[in-house]
Amino acid sequence: MKVGIPRALLYYRYGRFWEKFLTGLGAEVVVSRRTDKVLLQNGLGHVSSEVCLPIKIMAGHLEELAGQVDAIFLPRLLWLEDKLYACPKMIGIVDIARMMFDGRVPIVAPKIQGSLWLPHFRAGMELCHDPVRVVRALARAGRFLPVHDRVPDFPAGEKRVALIGHFYNLEDDFISRPMVDTFTEHGYRICTKDELPGSVLRSRQGFARKIRWVYERELYNAFRFLVDKVSGVCVIVSMGCGPDSLVAEFMREEAQQQDVPFLQLVIDEHSGTAGIVTRVEAFLELAERRRAAPRAA
């Protein structure tokens, strides 16, 4: 049995876990190809123009898999710990997929509400009907869940910039490559939230307690942790994402209070590489001035 996994959204956090789990059940796993312009264009015809770029990309990945597999594995994340919810569009992506396929391709969609294990066990039973094999597959796959429990080092004199964005944006080269390449070409180490320990990202201190979206709380906590350790903060916001836009404004205000250069890049399918590079380079000029200021004093 061929089971497809779209290379989008939650794949960039749980992809290896899912691949090992499904392989352990005896499935042949097919992961959609990396995002490109053609794939994105295919997705645009299946969703409203008002949804954010990651959802449009997901639609393209789903369409890519439709004719290649016997089923598609597409978990629906409602909330994790502390009843922190995913955004409504991410919750609704399973319904979008069902409307796209209209029964052409079965969708295995475990509903995640707090724990990963029980929903995945039930999904495994849909595919192989052997509870012992499902438990063993889950146990083996569990070793591939992302674990970050150490605070990274921040050597004195190192050129660093915080790139604050969702993992499904930063790890998709189609979205992030222009800004990542520009930072690295200028000699900057890029600090992201996904290298920080869970204890930092899940903190409920201060304003973070009021944020009820799981990934926006991670963004804000990463910003608060990194803002005094970098020469500047660049925040990636998807056009049409209300939670991102709201939290980014709080970050901007706090960065200005600390006199830290701040750049907000709003991305959609029309974002051009040249424009992104120009804005990042202008932002880095401010960051360089900030680095030089203490020495000049």
Q: Tens of pLDDT along 266-283?
A: 999 988 888 999 999 999
Give the residue ranges of DSSP H helices in 37-172: 37-44, 53-66, 88-91, 93-101, 117-128, 131-141, 167-170
Is the predicted pLDDT of residue 295 greater than 60, yes or no?
A: no
pLDDT for the residue numbered 90 = 85
> Three-class SS of residue 29?
strand
pLDDT for the residue numbered 157 = 87
> Could you tell me the sign of the dihedral formed by the alpha carbons of 240, 75, 168, 60, in that order?
negative
Tell me the mean pLDDT in the region 110-124.
Answer: 94
2-144: which CATH topology? Rossmann fold (3.40.50)
DSSP 231: S
- 160-296 is classed CATH 3.40.50.11900: yes
pLDDT for the residue numbered 294 = 56
Tell me the mean pLDDT in the region 185-205.
Answer: 93
pLDDT for the residue numbered 170 = 95
pLDDT for the residue numbered 256 = 94
Q: Which of 50, 126, 128, 131 lies closest to 92, judged by CA?
A: 50
CB 40 within 8 A of CB 57: yes
Tell me the mean pLDDT in the region 119-143.
Answer: 95
pLDDT for the residue numbered 155 = 93
Give the residue ranges of DSSP H helices in 129-263: 131-141, 167-170, 173-185, 198-201, 214-226, 242-257
CB 4 within 8 A of CB 31: yes
Asked if 2-144 and 160-296 have one fold, the answer is: yes
Q: Is the pLDDT higher at 49 or at 95?
A: 95
pLDDT band at 296 (very low <50, low <70, confident <90, very high): very low
Q: Which residue has the tokens 């008002």?
A: 50
pLDDT for the residue numbered 148 = 80
The structural domains of the chain, with segments of one domain joined by +, span 2-144, 160-296
pLDDT band at 297 (very low <50, low <70, confident <90, very high): very low
Q: How far apart are CA 109 and CA 253, in angstroms?
A: 39
CB 54 within 8 A of CB 238: yes
pLDDT in tens, 51-82: 999 999 999 999 999 989 999 999 999 998 78
Q: Is the pLDDT higher at 272 or at 224?
A: 224
pLDDT for the residue numbered 146 = 86
pLDDT for the residue numbered 270 = 86
